[in-house]
Amino acid sequence: DHLFSSLDKSISKENQRWLANYYFQQYQKGDAKSLIRTAIVLEKLLGITPEALSLPNLSLDVEAEAIKLAEVYAKAKRWTDRAKLLEMLSKEYRIHPNNPWKYQRMANFELGKTYLELEEKEKALHAF
């Protein structure tokens, strides 16, 4: 809790990753409020602000955190935020096709599933 309360200060990326994983594990153990904290920490780690969902610093080392945040958004039923996040991932994959991305196929599949949740079938077909 002390580390979370210090999140607005300069905390190392490693500590932010640890904290996000800690809260996600707490959520999996039944602590529903930890899901919100997981999202907050991952958004901080990725440089995402609530006002403007964007990925200013996407790189290979934070791709996994972006995928985890997409999962958190799904569990929180934040489908629009999830779609935006996965669309941005998809765009990065197209812009930098030579990077050795690990989750490209999964991200595109999850984007299709998200479009289905949003009842956007044409976009879902395109993503699949």
State pLDDT tens for residues 10-56. Answer: 888 888 889 999 999 999 999 999 999 999 889 888 887 655 555 55
Output the pLDDT for position 10.
Answer: 80
Question: What pLDDT score was predicted for residue 56?
Answer: 52
- Give pLDDT, residue 94: 87
Residue 62 has pLDDT above 90, yes or no: no
Helices 13-28 + 33-46 axis angle, to 10? 160
Q: Helices 63-75 and 104-117 sit at what angle, rounded to 10 degrees?
A: 20
pTM over 0.95: no
pLDDT over 70 at 124, yes or no? yes
64-109 pLDDT, tens digit per residue, is: 888 999 999 999 999 999 999 999 888 888 888 888 889 999 999 9
Task: Write down the pLDDT at residue 58.
Answer: 61
| Residue 77 backbone class (left: φ over 0; alpha: ψ -120 to 50; beta: rest) | left
User: If we measure between CA atoms, which residue out of 95, 72, 100 comes closest to residue 85?
Assistant: 72
Q: Is 78 helix (H, G, I), strand (E, B) or coil?
A: coil
Q: What pLDDT is attached to residue 65?
A: 87
pLDDT at residue number 29: 95
Dihedral Cα 113, 106, 29, 73, nearest 10 deg: -50
* Amino acid at the residue 58: L
